[in-house]
Structure 1
Amino acid sequence: MTPSRNLGAAVRSFFSDTTEGFLEIIRNTLALLGIAVACTIMVFVVRPDWRSASEAQLRTWLQERQDDAAVATLTPEPGAIERTTATNPKELPREQAAIAYWLSKKYKVAAEPMAALVTEAYEQGARHKIDPTLILAVVAIESRFNPFAQSSVGAQGLMQVMTRVHTDKYENFGGDLAAFDPVSNMRVGVTILKEYIRRSGSIEGGLKYYVGAANLPSDGGYAAKVLAEYQRIRQVAGHAAPPPPAPAPQTTAAAASPTLALADTQPAEAANPGNM
């Protein structure tokens, strides 16, 4: 046999032995894998608690993978922060910060959105010459600071304004759906509250109008609840007691405005009738 033939035979023998070795390894691996699977099935049959734990772990892993994929597909919206109603309470004046933290704890609302609402109440209070703590007291009793609250009679939002009655007031905010925007709802509600206090001549009377009980013998304790919360918030703010309401005789206001005099002769359109 020539050397070239000997070399060819050696190469063929090497590849043949190598192939048989790989095949043997694969067969042994599959056999071991089959044995492992069989043992796992037997263990799960004998120990169903292990099976349940494994299934729960697998579901958790799959859910995490799905969540990671969902996060990866989110479209960046750096301007989304502008849609939030939130303020850092540490940046507020001391009085407002104290109120925000106290209301946040009492009504289980995050301090940041509560700080934004307190800030808005103080701004609207200054604009309409209403104590901001009274505004916050009305919000507390009406909705417990839930901007999406709705009563059985249709009063909506933070200050539970009857949207269908005061729909004209929401036109400046883009329409009735603004009732569920906390700031818009508060601005409309404060405007209504101011008018009712002016019309009745007192805070108590204004609250009676606000709850829709102007023509009823009793408001069901609504004004008392608001005023009690008003006192508590004022104490948190560092005030001993609310100032006495300034007298505003209804006849003087009516004489100054013939249109308003006509409105005063009509039944009160409550912000939230029936929500007492």
Structure 2
Amino acid sequence: MTASGSVVASVRTFAANIVNGLVVVTHSSFALLGLAVAFVAIALTARPDLRHSGEEQLRGWLQSRQPVNTKTAQAAEVATQPVSAPATPRPAAATPRPIAINPQQLPREQAAVAYWLSKKYRVAPEPVAALVTEAYELGRSAKLDPTLILAIVAIESSFNPFAQSSVGAQGLMQVMTRVHTDKYEDVGGHLAAFNPLTNLRVGVQVLQECISRAGSLEGGLRYYVGAANLPHDGGYAAKVLAEHFRLRQVAGGRAASPAPAPAKPVLSTKAPADAAPATPSAALPPTADKVAMLAGA
């Protein structure tokens, strides 16, 4: 055998001895562990008090560890969650206004206007008081005289919230609902035209647009009634301004000038049965109405 062969043989023998030693030690360790387990089992069987004591200590250790683990897990879960922006609070819904108010609760000027309109147009003072209050608030925001708004209501519908013309003008201010559908989208749709307060608000928007388009109050009234492109408006603007003047007198604490019983204008929804017919020279053509606004007014 050569020298190199002797070395290889020696290494193999040494490795085999190490492996055999590890096997023996491992077997011995398992044997010792088995003996220890057997000894503990025998001791616990022989001494129940030791078993109970050990169980109590183990249970206490597990319970003391559980909250820590739970809190750690919760903290880890919160830490891993994406940070979201705080929710934007929704604006509170606007409180609907009452459609009737005791006129005695109004300021003196508004109460005087409400009672005067109630008596002249033979309508209950409570809903008129609500309309007067709304007209004054709309007038402040739209920079319009509130008595002008009420004068248009008087001439257009005589404070009948369910009035409707043959061409589709509806409600207190006889708004052409099918023309101004966009203004009713956020207030419940076209049927809201018969809600008196809603119709009043939409009518004021239309009136603002008409006055801005015409550049004057009289011209705006002609646009409003649909007579901007016609030779005359059938006396509509004059009737509105006359009623406006009387309401300003009432609001100022003065007795309104005498006026005939309310009669509907030529362009209004309905004319009283006892109203005198207009002469051909003062009346509009049969087709003239607010619908003229669609024909390039």
- Return closer, same or farther for 1:107/1:138 CA change in 2, 3 Å cut-off: same
Distance 1:228 1:129 in 2: 20
Distance 1:133 1:116 in 2: 14
Asked if 1:96 is matched to 2:114, the reply is no
Asked if 1:272 is matched to 2:283, the reply is no
Match of 1:42 in 2: none
Equivalent of residue 239 in structure 2, options 217, 225, 234: 225
Whichever residue aligns with residue 135 of structure 1, its letter is I
TM superposition shift of 1:272: 3.2
Equivalent of residue 144 in structure 1, options 158, 161, 176: 158
- Return closer, same or farther for 1:118/1:203 CA change in 2, 3 Å cut-off: same
Whichever residue aligns with residue 213 of structure 2, its letter is R
Distance 2:105 2:289 in 1: 33
Equivalent of residue 192 in structure 1, options 180, 183, 206: 206
Whichever residue aligns with residue 272 of structure 1, its letter is K
RMSD (CA atoms): 2.1
Match of 2:175 in 1: 161
Alignment check: 8 A CA contact 2:173 2:199 kept: yes
Q: How many residues align?
A: 165
TM superposition shift of 1:154: 1.0
Asked if 1:235 is matched to 2:220, the reply is no
Q: Secondary structure at the match of 1:187?
A: helix
Alignment check: 8 A CA contact 1:161 1:271 kept: no
Asked if 1:116 is matched to 2:121, the reply is no
Distance 2:204 2:180 in 1: 12
What are the equivalent positions in structure 2 for 1:18-33 lying under 5 Å apart? Answer: none
Alignment check: 8 A CA contact 2:227 2:290 kept: no
Which structure shows the higher helix fraction? 1
Q: Secondary structure at the match of 1:228?
A: helix
What are the equivalent positions in structure 2 for 1:178-217 lying under 5 Å apart? Answer: 178-217=192-231
Match of 1:12 in 2: none
- Return closer, same or farther for 1:148/1:198 CA change in 2, 3 Å cut-off: same
Distance 1:164 1:218 in 2: 25
TM superposition shift of 1:271: 9.0
Per the normalisation by structure 1, the TM-score is 0.57
TM superposition shift of 1:273: 3.7
For each residue in 1:66-89, what CA deviation from the matched residue of structure 2 results, as whole angstroms up to 9, or x when unmatched? xxxxxxxxxxxxxxxx78510010
Alignment check: 8 A CA contact 1:155 1:271 kept: no
For each residue in 1:2-22, what CA deviation from the matched residue of structure 2 results, as whole angstroms up to 9, or x when unmatched? xxxxxxxxxxxxxxxxxxxxx
Alignment check: 8 A CA contact 2:109 2:253 kept: no
Match of 1:61 in 2: none
Q: Secondary structure at the match of 2:290?
A: coil
Match of 2:147 in 1: 133
Whichever residue aligns with residue 127 of structure 1, its letter is S
Quick one: percent identity of the two aligned structures? Answer: 74
Distance 1:101 1:143 in 2: 18
Match of 1:41 in 2: none
Alignment check: 8 A CA contact 2:156 2:174 kept: yes
For each residue in 1:17-49, what CA deviation from the matched residue of structure 2 results, as whole angstroms up to 9, or x when unmatched? xxxxxxxxxxxxxxxxxxxxxxxxxxxxxxxxx
Distance 2:173 2:192 in 1: 13
Match of 1:86 in 2: 100
Alignment check: 8 A CA contact 1:162 1:271 kept: no
Poorly superposed stretches of 4+, deviation over 4 Å: none
Match of 1:6 in 2: none
Gaps spanning 5+ residues in structure 1: where?
A: 1-81, 241-269
Q: Secondary structure at the match of 2:210?
A: helix
Alignment check: 8 A CA contact 1:210 1:271 kept: no
Match of 1:254 in 2: none
Distance 2:97 2:136 in 1: 21
Distance 1:88 1:112 in 2: 5
Alignment check: 8 A CA contact 2:167 2:289 kept: no
